[in-house]
Amino acid sequence: KMILGPHMRSPACSHLLVFLLAQFITAFCLFAYVRLTRDPGPDLWPGLPSTLTTQPGNKMATPQIGSELTILLWTWPFGQRTDLRKCTEFFDIQDCHITANRSWYHKADAVIVHHRDVCYNRKALPQGPRTPSQRWIWFNLESPSHSPNLGFMDHLFNLTMSYRRDSDIFTPYGWLEVLSQPQNFSIPAKSKLVAWAVSNWSPASHRVKYYGELKKYIQVDIYGSHHMPLPRDKQLSILSQYKFYLAFENSLHEDYITEKLWKNALGSGAVPVVLGPPRENYERFLPSDAFIHIDDFPTAQGLAQYLQELDKDQVRYQRYFQWRTWLKPSEPPFWALHFCKACQALQVTERYQSIPALAKWFQ
């Protein structure tokens, strides 16, 4: 017999109202805190989805400083050059001078170091002497399972910037924006059932093993390397034809909820079936009836049966979209918004600290 948690038995509207109320209360308390302290520290972001504070379209005034800050990008993330945009496009702050020109190193107020570009060689880190006030920002969007040599970073950095909500600078893969008025969301036309796009196929991984069980009971169309092609310019239109999308993460870690959910599933209008951190972790970012968690079922067969039931019951299926009346999923315009979040954080955080054990925190 399939086991369903209470979140599946409760009316969808109740979940949405509770979620919205909780976010507004949290946002109000946070705003009061910022007004009183003027120094958010590492706990500014953890209490709520950042949409309610600093995402594009939801600007929040922050203290101004005297002169323009200079932020040096030690490397382009993964070697990918990107357009650098003015931070005033995103936030009500004084703009920063953001550059990848290393000749600015000795003048830079902060240096953003992308972990994967320096973690295999200590000499890839900045080697020259640094000014006493210069802050180094550790930037990483990969999970601990794919972040080698964290020990290199001990006692070097002053601020963390990652998808973890307890980072000094919170840079999630996506978020929900509260709409100013309700919208009528149109579910894309569906002609297929379950899709999964996967680039790194590892037979020993938890997600591939789970898929191996799931496919015994339900058809799953797989896209990506060694599977059906999924052209980038047609990705969302192809995935939008499916009722469900397997948003299976490559590793299980706190807050590690990636574009697999935000872009592939929610962006295409498919209901996400998630494999990742526990359901409670997902509910920090999403209403409980916006997704289906594999942990809600004792077996893959139970999940398959539930998806087949929803396929035949349009009313129950549509409940997974009711939250979209008041909420809209959004993603960062990589990488520009992340850099500007660092610009904002430097203007509101005056304390100077050293992070002694980065691996201990991040693991």
353: pLDDT confidence band, cut at 50, 70 and 90? confident
- Range with lowest mean pLDDT among 44-58, 77-91, 269-283: 44-58
pLDDT at 39 over 60: no
Alpha carbon distance 161, 362 (integer Å): 11
Better-predicted residue by pLDDT, 10 or 362: 362
Structure token pair of residue 218: 């339900």
Condensed to tens digits (0 to 9), the pLDDT of residues 80-119 reads: 999 999 999 999 999 999 999 999 999 999 999 999 999 9
Lowest-pLDDT range of 44-58, 187-201, 320-334: 44-58
**Half-sphere exposure for 142 (CA within 13 Å, toward CB):** 15
DSSP, collapsed to helix, strand or coil, labels residue 352 as coil
Token representation of residue 183:
């919208």
The pLDDT value recorded for residue 67 is 79
Q: Is 213 a catalytic residue?
A: no
Confidence (pLDDT) at 23: 60
Taken in order of first residue, the domains within the chain and their CATH numbers are 6-17+178-330 (3.40.50.11660), 38-172+332-362 (no CATH)
Query: So what's the pLDDT on residue 315?
Result: 98
- Whole-angstrom distance, CA of residue 231 vs CA of residue 362: 34
Q: What values do phi and psi take at 305, rounded to 5?
A: -60, -40
Catalytic member of 68, 89, 142, 249? 142
pLDDT band for position 363 (50/70/90)? confident
**CA dist list (Å): 313 to 4, 139, 243, 272, 299:** 17, 45, 12, 17, 22
Within 10 angstroms of residue 215's Cβ, the number of other Cβ atoms is 15
How does the average pLDDT of the chain come out, rounded? 86
The residue written with tokens 């382009």 in the block is 76
How many CB atoms lie under 10 A from the CB of residue 210? 16
The pLDDT of 253-267, averaged and rounded, is 97
- Is the pLDDT confidence value at 64 over 60? no
Residue 253 gets the label, from left (phi > 0), alpha (psi -120 to 50) or beta, of: beta
- Residue 47 pLDDT > 70: no
Centroid of chain to Cα 362: 16
Residue 44 pLDDT > 50, yes or no? no
Of all residues in the chain, the percent with pLDDT exceeding 90 is: 76
d(CA 189, CA 187): 6
Q: What is the pLDDT averaged over residues 324-332?
A: 95
Q: Count the residues in the chain.
A: 363
Distance CA 344, CA 146 (A): 28
Question: 362 pLDDT exceeds 60?
Answer: yes
In 3-state terms, what secondary structure has residue 161? strand
pLDDT (average), residues 323-329: 97
- 3-class state of residue 196 by DSSP: strand
Amino acid letter at 67? S
Tell which wins on pLDDT, 33 or 299: 299
Letter string b/e over residues 104-140, b meaning 16 or more CB atoms within 10 A of that residue's CB: bbeebbbbbbbbbbbbeeeeebbeeeeeeebbbbbbb
CB 362 within 8 Å of CB 164: yes
Q: Give the DSSP H or E segment for 292.
A: strand 292-293
Q: How many CB atoms lie within 10 A of CB 305?
A: 16
Per-residue model confidence as pLDDT tens digits over 136-182? 999 999 999 999 999 989 999 999 999 999 999 999 999 999 999 99
Q: Beta-carbon neighbour count of residue 352 at 10 Å?
A: 11
Helices (H), the chain: 6-9, 12-37, 206-214, 235-239, 259, 279-282, 300-312, 314-318, 336-348, 358-362
The mean pLDDT of 209-228, rounded to a whole number, is 96
